[in-house]
């Protein structure tokens, strides 16, 4: 086992250290970490660390602490010991999950994947570079170990809350290890996310607004190879009329943005996209395939209900038409996480959310915000999940 | 009778007509194939490189066949690295054709008669159900072209020196066939022949199976040939083929260094950026075409192998000569889910 952060030693040994919700020692530590992540040299190399630094800046931390403790009817305390199993591939998720938990005063163990690279390494360097109160190293630990079931089992018995990211298979695998009776899991299974574009909204928008929308969408889609849980996949063109022109303009603008950013798709990914697009055609889910460029594949779906829920490659965009957002509701289910939108009125979006009734879709956000992490995620308020309540009457 | 006879221009003319007919045939008999062509807007091809290709991996995820269920005579499978399996459906006619054409291809270098055969492998691969599909099927397919078979490795995979000596004592004074996977030939036969001074001078080696394991040991195809020549084995033919185009193999010519296409097959090297055909000398993705697949739409396949055409009508045999350079790495994405990778997840 490799200790990536925190004091080496028995991870499950009882600890005499006590942290409070919003403990100043943790707040100071996170604020110092934010300063390092927001340093221009870092933020330039890994833009996602900029967002993370922003999330951890003092004003934001203060707001989070206030939200945690703002309860009249109960006293708020840390949940206890939290074991985090973040995904291997999204470098920054583990920090969000851990930081909120640390802010809530928990003792944390984070399992860092041995496959972690790039931004994760920079974060770990930054964590270790902060001059912290010694209690931080004793209570906040990040470790890397292989597929060692005994360690996972011991940490599962140790924790009061186990946070499992990484999709269905990760959840199923980790869940084989029992928790103590009072503990529970917070799971982040496989998700699918969509984009909705209002045809009337697009027609009403001026060229600058259209371009700005596509820039936001391009970031959402290409940043994590369209494979993050909140990356938009299928684009639903909403609102009737002939949308051929809208789609053509959207695709053209998107290619232009991708061009300007200098984003590329390697041959393996190009083949991957062909395989998946052909498969959609072979099964009748797609009626037309366009390959204008390796970086963008456009697929015409036979209907909204045929939208694929699995990843089909970086820069692969199925399109389907629906009359209204409400018409889309039957095609949505529990697996669906984020719907990013352009061109709708607040009333239309509210009606959509109300009609969904929590049976699917946890986030409805404008183009450009799909990947912005929030303390409310996958339908959970993490600030609540990481604390516990004592009533006093 | 050789199947390496047609110069490139006459071959292309013949193949284009036959392959275009196959496109029509499969389009009318294989619904998923028809849908793919319709969705991608294919009309007609005036050149082999314009024929619509299928990514070879589709045979792992889709059932692609152009024959009714009750005419399926044989289902071939290949194991992939991630547990996905290609399924190739043959009717009686296709099964017979593939055996016949494979035989004709090999006879070019083996002659018309079955030769005594030394198999550089272990008999136990036929028992292990899991490795059977790939290695076992390869060995069994080849075994029909030899006689008096002897396995060079024992059941534990160790060299059976007595067995090899016995084989050579009986058959070593006349032409014999040696078959095995490239890395097994290198690891076992070459070492043993050198150490014990075995006389392989009358052997004709047919080998396949990729160079990756040898490249890891820094053994190039040239070095492989040179070292084996040093122990007397000079007639060496590597080949390239896949279960998705069963019966078609691209065979190394007598002077080595290049693979050649039989008259009923060809290769196209594509630029993975523009997908256009690349001229000789420029490496790209390898597409293989063959007129043998009549019972499933495998007549034009984009492989995930990288290759390069070295020349046209300028080698041991007419047509294109080329090399396989290695495998395209599998696409991997960053993503929240660690399992977002394969097509079936």
B328 and A227 within 8 Å at the Cβ level: the answer is no
Distances (CA, A) of B63 to A387, B31, B52, B85: 51, 10, 18, 11
Instruction: Give me the sheet containing A296-301, strands edge to edge.
Output: A286-293, A296-301, A316-322, A232-238, A192-198, A336-342, A363-366
Distances (CA, A) of B230 to A55, A89, A271, B174: 68, 49, 42, 19
B334 and A166 within 8 Å at the Cβ level: the answer is no
A278 and B340 within 8 Å at the Cβ level: the answer is no
Which of A91, A168, A275 is closest, CB to CB, to B339?
Answer: A168
Q: Residue B316, exposed/middle/buried by CB under 10 A (0-12, 13-18, 19+)?
A: middle
Report the pLDDT averaged over residues A356-366: 96
Neighbours of B116 (CB within 10 A): 21
**pLDDT for residue A115:** 76
Distances (CA, A) of B68 to B90, B91, B94, B230: 11, 9, 13, 53
Which residues in chain A have their CB less than 8 angstroms from residue B35's CB? Answer: 281-284
Structure tokens at B146: 């030899």
Total residue count of chain B as it appears in this document: 345
Report the pLDDT averaged over residues A344-358: 97
Q: The tokens 């190399």 sit on which residue?
A: A45
Instruction: Please give the sequence-ordered ranges of beta strands (E in DSSP) within B123-264, or none if there are none.
Output: 146-153, 176-181, 203-208, 235-240, 250-252, 259-260
**pLDDT for residue B344:** 26
Using CA atoms, how far apart are residues B35 and B27, in angstroms rounded to an integer? Answer: 8
The verdict on B317 touching A (C-beta cutoff 8 Å) is no
CB A37 within 8 A of CB A43: yes
- Phi then psi for residue A339, to 5 deg, are -115, 115
CB B92 within 8 A of CB B74: no
Using CA atoms, how far apart are residues A163 and A104, in angstroms rounded to an integer? Answer: 14
Using CA atoms, how far apart are residues B121 and B8, in angstroms rounded to an integer? Answer: 37
Give A183-241 as a DSSP string: -EEEE----EEEEEEEHHHHHHS-HHHHHHHHHHHHHHHHTTTT-STTSEEEEEEES-S
**pLDDT for residue B130:** 54
**pLDDT for residue B124:** 83
Question: What is the distance, to the nearest Å, from the Cα of residue A249 to the centroid of all Cα atoms in its chain?
Answer: 29
A227 and B335 within 8 Å at the Cβ level: the answer is yes
* pLDDT tens profile A51-73: 888 889 899 999 999 999 988 88
Using CA atoms, how far apart are residues B209 and A16, in angstroms rounded to an integer? Answer: 61
Distance from CA of A115 to the nearest CA of B (A): 11
**pLDDT for residue B1:** 66
From the candidate CATH numbers 3.40.50.720, 3.40.50.300, 3.40.605.10, 3.30.565.10, the one assigned to the domain spanning A2-188+378-391: 3.40.605.10
**pLDDT for residue A40:** 87
Instruction: Decide if pLDDT at A20 tops 70.
Output: yes
Total residue count of chain A as it appears in this document: 393
What is the dihedral sign for C-alpha B135, B137, B140, B145? Answer: negative
The verdict on B30 touching A (C-beta cutoff 8 Å) is no
**pLDDT for residue B79:** 59
A282 and B33 within 8 Å at the Cβ level: the answer is yes
What number does CATH give the domain B8-327?
A: 3.40.50.12780
* pLDDT tens profile A123-134: 999 999 999 999
Which residues in chain A have their CB less than 8 angstroms from residue B345's CB? Answer: 169, 310-311
Instruction: Decide if pLDDT at A293 tops 50.
Output: yes
**pLDDT for residue B334:** 58
Question: Pick from B280, B323, B326: which is nearest to B304 by CA?
Answer: B326
Distance from CA of B230 to the nearest CA of A (A): 39
Q: Which residues of A337-358 are buried (b: 16+ CB within 10 A; e: fewer)?
A: bbbbbbbbeeebbebbbebbee
DSSP type of residue B332: -
Give the residue extent of every domain in chain A.
2-188+378-391, 192-366
Q: Give the pLDDT band of residue A48 (cuts 50, 70, 90).
A: confident
Neighbours of A204 (CB within 10 A): 10
Structure tokens at B39: 């969705």
Count of CA atoms in the C-beta half-sphere (13 A) of B290: 28
What is the dihedral sign for C-alpha A114, A118, A124, A128? Answer: positive
Instruction: Please give the sequence-ordered ranges of beta strands (E in DSSP) within A100-183, or none if there are none.
Output: 107-111, 140-144, 161-164
Instruction: Please give the sequence-ordered ranges of beta strands (E in DSSP) within B98-186, or none if there are none.
Output: 115-122, 146-153, 176-181
The kind and range of the H/E element at B310 are strand B300-312
What number does CATH give the domain A192-366?
A: 3.40.309.10
Q: pTM value?
A: 0.89
Size of interface A-B (CB pairs under 8 A): 143
Question: Pick from A207, A217, A201, A229: which is nearest to A348 by CA?
Answer: A201
Structure tokens at B219: 């053994």
Which of A167, A310, A313 is closest, CB to CB, to B338?
Answer: A167
Question: Pick from A298, A228, A221, A235: which is nearest to A263 by CA?
Answer: A221
The verdict on B343 touching A (C-beta cutoff 8 Å) is yes
* pLDDT tens profile A166-220: 889 889 999 999 999 999 999 999 999 999 999 999 999 999 999 999 999 999 9
Q: Tell me the ipTM for this assembly.
A: 0.90
Instruction: Decide if pLDDT at A117 tops 90.
Output: no
Which residues in chain B have their CB less than 8 angstroms from residue A259's CB? Answer: none
DSSP-assigned beta bridge partners for residue A84: A110, A163
pLDDT in tens, chain B (345 residues): 689 999 999 999 999 999 999 999 999 999 999 999 999 999 999 999 999 999 999 999 999 999 999 999 999 887 555 567 889 999 999 999 999 999 999 999 999 999 999 999 988 877 765 555 567 777 888 898 999 999 999 988 899 999 999 999 999 999 999 999 898 899 889 989 999 999 999 999 999 986 667 767 777 888 899 999 998 999 999 999 998 999 999 999 999 999 999 999 999 999 999 999 999 999 999 999 999 999 999 999 999 999 999 999 999 999 999 999 988 877 666 555 553 232 222
* pLDDT tens profile A219-258: 999 988 898 899 999 999 999 789 999 999 999 999 999 9
User: Looking at chain B, which residue has its C-alpha nearest residue A278?
Assistant: B36
The verdict on B81 touching A (C-beta cutoff 8 Å) is no
Which residues in chain A have their CB less than 8 angstroms from residue B285's CB? Answer: 267, 271
């Amino acid at each position: 086992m490799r200790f990536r952060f925190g004091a080496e030693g028995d991870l499950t040994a009882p600890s005499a250290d006590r942290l409070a919700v919003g403990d100043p020692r943790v707040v100071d530590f996170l604020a110092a970490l934010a300063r390092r992540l927001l340093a221009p040299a870092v933020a330039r190399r890994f833009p996602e660390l900029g967002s993370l630094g922003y999330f951890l800046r003092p004003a934001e931390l203060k707001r989070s602490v206030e939200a945690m403790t703002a309860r009249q009817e109960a006293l708020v305390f840390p949940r206890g010991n939290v074991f985090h199993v973040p995904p291997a591939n999204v470098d920054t998720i583990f920090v969000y999950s851990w930081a909120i938990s640390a802010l809530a005063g928990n003792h944390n163990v984070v399992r860092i994947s041995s496959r972690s690279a790039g931004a994760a390494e920079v974060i770990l360097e930054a964590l270790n570079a902060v001059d912290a109160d010694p209690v931080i190293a004793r209570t906040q630990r990040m470790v890397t170990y292989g597929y060692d079931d005994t360690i996972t089992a011991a940490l599962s018995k140790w924790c009061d809350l186990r946070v499992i990211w990484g999709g269905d298979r990760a959840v199923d695998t980790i869940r084989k290890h029992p928790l103590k009776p009072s503990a529970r899991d917070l799971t982040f299974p496989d998700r699918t996310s969509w984009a909705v574009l209002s045809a009337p909204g697009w027609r009403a928008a001026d060229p600058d607004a259209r371009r700005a929308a596509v820039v936001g969408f391009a970031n959402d889609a290409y940043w994590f190879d369209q494979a993050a849980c909140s990356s938009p996949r299928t684009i639903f063109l909403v609102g009737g009329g002939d949308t051929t022109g809208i789609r053509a303009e959207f695709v053209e603008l998107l290619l232009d943005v991708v061009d300007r950013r200098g984003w590329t798709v390697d041959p393996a990914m190009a083949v991957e996209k062909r395989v998946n697009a052909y498969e959609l055609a072979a099964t009748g889910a797609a009626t037309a395939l366009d390959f204008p460029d390796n970086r963008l594949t456009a697929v015409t779906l036979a209907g909204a209900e045929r939208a694929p829920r699995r990843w089909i490659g970086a820069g692969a965009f199925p399109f389907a038409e629906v009359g209204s957002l409400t018409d889309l509701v039957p095609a949505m289910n529990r697996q669906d996480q984020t719907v990013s939108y352009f061109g709708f009125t607040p009333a239309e979006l509210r009606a959509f959310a109300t009609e969904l009734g929590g049976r699917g879709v946890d986030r409805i956000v404008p183009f450009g915000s799909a990947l912005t992490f929030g303390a409310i995620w996958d339908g959970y308020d993490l600030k609540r999940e990481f604390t516990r309540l004592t009533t006093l009457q | 009778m050789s199947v390496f006879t047609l110069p490139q221009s006459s071959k292309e003319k013949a193949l284009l007509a036959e392959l275009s007919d196959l496109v029509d045939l499969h389009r009318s008999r294989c619904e998923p194939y028809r849908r793919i062509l319709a969705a991608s807007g294919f009309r007609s091809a005036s050149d082999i490189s314009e024929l619509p290709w299928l990514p070879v991996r589709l045979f792992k995820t889709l059932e692609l066949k152009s024959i009714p269920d009750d005419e399926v005579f044989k289902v071939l499978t290949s194991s992939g690295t991630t547990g996905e399996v290609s399924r190739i459906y043959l009717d009686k006619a296709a099964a017979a054709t593939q055996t016949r054409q494979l035989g004709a291809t090999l006879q070019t270098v083996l002659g018309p008669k079955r030769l005594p055969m030394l198999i550089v492998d272990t008999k136990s691969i036929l028992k292990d159900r899991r490795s059977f599909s790939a290695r076992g099927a390869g060995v069994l397919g080849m075994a029909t072209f030899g006689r008096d078979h002897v396995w060079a490795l024992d059941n534990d995979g160790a060299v059976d020196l007595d067995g090899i000596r016995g084989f050579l004592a009986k058959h070593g004074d006349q032409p014999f066939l040696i078959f095995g996977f490239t890395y097994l030939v290198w690891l076992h036969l070459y070492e043993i022949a050198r150490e014990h001074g075995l006389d392989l001078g009358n052997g004709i080696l047919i080998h396949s199976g990729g160079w990756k394991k040898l490249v890891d040991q820094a053994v190039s195809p040239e070095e492989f040939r040179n070292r084996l020549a040093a122990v007397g084995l000079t007639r060496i033919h590597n080949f390239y083929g896949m279960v998705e185009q069963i019966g078609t193999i691209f065979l190394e010519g007598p002077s080595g260094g290049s693979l050649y296409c039989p008259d009923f097959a060809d290769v196209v090297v594509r630029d993975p950026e523009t997908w256009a055909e690349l001229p000789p000398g420029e490496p790209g993705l390898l597409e293989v075409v063959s007129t043998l697949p009549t019972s499933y739409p495998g007549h034009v396949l984009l492989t995930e192998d990288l290759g390069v055409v070295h020349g046209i009508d300028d080698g041991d045999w007419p047509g294109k000569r080329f090399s396989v350079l290695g495998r395209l790495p599998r696409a991997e994405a960053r993503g929240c889910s660690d399992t977002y990778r394969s097509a079936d997840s």
